[in-house]
Structure 1
Amino acid sequence: MSGRIDELSSVDRARRDARERAAQSDWMPYLPPSSAPFAPSDVAPGDLRWAETVPPGGYTHLRVARGTRIRLEDVTGDACAGLVVFNALAPHERLNVADTQKIPWQAYLGAGHPLLSGDGRVLATIAADTSGHHDAFCGTTSDAWNIAKYGDALPEGPTPSGHALLRLAASKHGLTSRDLPPAVSFFQGVRIDDDGTTRWLGSAGPGTSVDLLAELPLIVLLANAPHPVDPRDDYISGPLRVTAWTSKPTGEQDAVFSASPERQRAYRNSIAYAELAGL
């Protein structure tokens, strides 16, 4: 009998400890989202669908509806948001970085830039940007890179790789490492010089943000890990705030829709797909 009592006591202690940790955590999603202290002041509380702070070296994931607007915010100037998105209705359709650069004839990400799939559809649009320090060349850090630089890449360890974090996020949606395309990253920028050298820009500073508009239902994966060409020796990362609310997808009346013939075709492809799916 005493063994049973000790066992119950152990379970009770574990439960109490877990609940105390949850109450103290700064990284848990806010439920309801409108309770988040950083909820956007220009968004009606009833429209908020997601509010979370992703810790340094952490990740998050969620399915979002077409027309959802997602805001990423670099709180301290040290966040680096590695992003991959999938068509939630058919996850084999996913972010294609090459087409994301090719269709708008622009390799550097910024406001109005469409994020395309390999099927010629716009998955999301960068609806607003106060940072301008982003990257669509280098992807996120690999396990091998992290091991060489920091000595470890495990997602449970102190220096997780971006790819390890994205693998964990993908697994929540039945996806594997083979499903992951190269990521784009926000808040830590690079430029490619005339001689082909990758030049590190770093951050634009604390408090900058990027808004993404979902043009289709999406699976959104985010890894908050140092950029692959960050020259600093230490594993430096900062908190990443995420909020999302109900909005409207891009339509023919929007300037980004008709910015070029190539973009117009891509947006038309997304709209037709959504309408045929009854969205």
Structure 2
Amino acid sequence: MSNILYTTTLPGNGHWSLELRRGSLMKITDLTGGANVGMLFYNPRHLLERYNAPDTLKCQHTFKLQRGNCLYSDMGRIFASIIDDYSANGEGNWHDTVCGTSTAQMVEQQFGKRDYQRDRNQWLQNGYDAFLVELAKYGLGRADMASNINWFSKVIADDKGNIQLDTRNQAQGNSVTLRFEMDTLVVMHACPHPLNKSSSYPFTSVRIELGEADPVSDDDYCKNFRPENQRGFQNNALYYLAAKH
């Protein structure tokens, strides 16, 4: 990845949001192992258009996200493509987009109650409220919440259909790189996955690098990963053609 323009660290109970332009690139790296990054996407020009987990999975015939997958809106357009997915321990990355996010009740029951007024930066934030704090900055709220992505979190099902978090592939240095195919409002947090069974709150930080992506070529891996992705890129092209004229 070249032409990195900005680097920051998101702490293990932190949240952030920003607008990224079409052609931007974001690389997220797990700094300690065991990180979870919840993320949502919105069209900053039409905030009713947002990330759609069911369409993302079913049109690419998958249960997980990995390199090659595109991240779809509810209008059939592509917010971003996963252009790189590095696994430090060789187990392979697996990113969840079906389990949702942690809530205040879940965090309090598992880790105890802490609040910012008393505990300051060591308070125990939950994913749902973290999203709401960021969404409020753009006039959005509970009604605008959607199923989110959980980067670096692998979920598996047993023979009885019970879903659990599999931590074997979590490792320091795991990374995922996104190329944004649309102007996108990105909302994120680094709070625990809802299936995390740790006995202590996981303050696992991630590094975020922002830059410019190379232009999309005809033989682009993500564009050709599934036939449906070709249509998604065409929908994006039509959207920007109509906006231009």
Q: TM-score, normalised by structure 1?
A: 0.78
The alignment partner of 2:201 has SS state of coil
In structure 2, the residue matched to 1:81 is 37
Q: Within 1, Cα distance between the matches of 2:45 and 2:217?
A: 20
For CA contacts below 8 A with separation 6 or more, give which structure has more relative contact order: 2
How far apart are residue 155 of structure 1 and its match? 6.8
Q: Within 1, Cα distance between the matches of 2:244 and 2:110?
A: 48
Structure with more of its chain in helix, by fraction: 1
Q: Within 2, Cα distance between the matches of 1:210 and 1:218?
A: 17
Unaligned residue ranges in structure 2 (runs of 5+): 88-92
Q: Is the 8 A contact 1:143 1:161 kept in 2?
A: yes
In structure 2, the residue matched to 1:224 is 190
CA shift in 2, pair 1:107/1:169, >3 Å:
same
Q: Is the 8 A contact 2:68 2:225 kept in 1?
A: no
The alignment partner of 1:244 has SS state of strand
CA shift in 2, pair 1:106/1:249, >3 Å:
farther
Q: Within 2, Cα distance between the matches of 1:231 and 1:271?
A: 43
In structure 2, the residue matched to 1:165 is 130
The residue correspondences of 1:128-147 to structure 2 (distance < 5 A) are: 128-131=84-87, 132-147=93-108
Q: Is the 8 A contact 2:27 2:208 kept in 1?
A: yes
1:238 is matched with which residue: 191, 200, 204? 204
CA displacement, residues 115-160 of structure 1 (integer Å, 9 cap, x when unaligned): 1111111111111101313211211102232233234486766111
How far apart are residue 82 of structure 1 and its match? 0.3
Q: Within 2, Cα distance between the matches of 1:254 and 1:154?
A: 47
Q: Within 2, Cα distance between the matches of 1:137 and 1:117?
A: 15
1:121 aligns with 2:42: no
The residue correspondences of 1:123-272 to structure 2 (distance < 5 A) are: 123-131=79-87, 132-152=93-113, 158-202=123-167, 203-248=169-214, 250-272=216-238
Q: Is the 8 A contact 1:67 1:215 kept in 2?
A: yes
CA displacement, residues 75-127 of structure 1 (integer Å, 9 cap, x when unaligned): 00032100101112211111111111111101111001111111111111111
Q: Within 2, Cα distance between the matches of 1:188 and 1:108?
A: 10
Q: Within 2, Cα distance between the matches of 1:168 and 1:226?
A: 16
Give % identity: 28
CA shift in 2, pair 1:181/1:238, >3 Å:
same
CA shift in 2, pair 1:250/1:191, >3 Å:
farther
Q: Is the 8 A contact 1:104 1:260 kept in 2?
A: yes
Larger Rg: 1
CA shift in 2, pair 1:145/1:217, >3 Å:
same
Q: Is the 8 A contact 1:122 1:266 kept in 2?
A: yes
CA displacement, residues 178-217 of structure 1 (integer Å, 9 cap, x when unaligned): 2121111011211223431213212520011100111100
Q: Within 2, Cα distance between the matches of 1:64 and 1:196?
A: 38
The alignment partner of 1:85 has SS state of strand
In structure 2, the residue matched to 1:32 is none
Count of paired positions: 235
Q: TM-score, normalised by structure 2?
A: 0.88
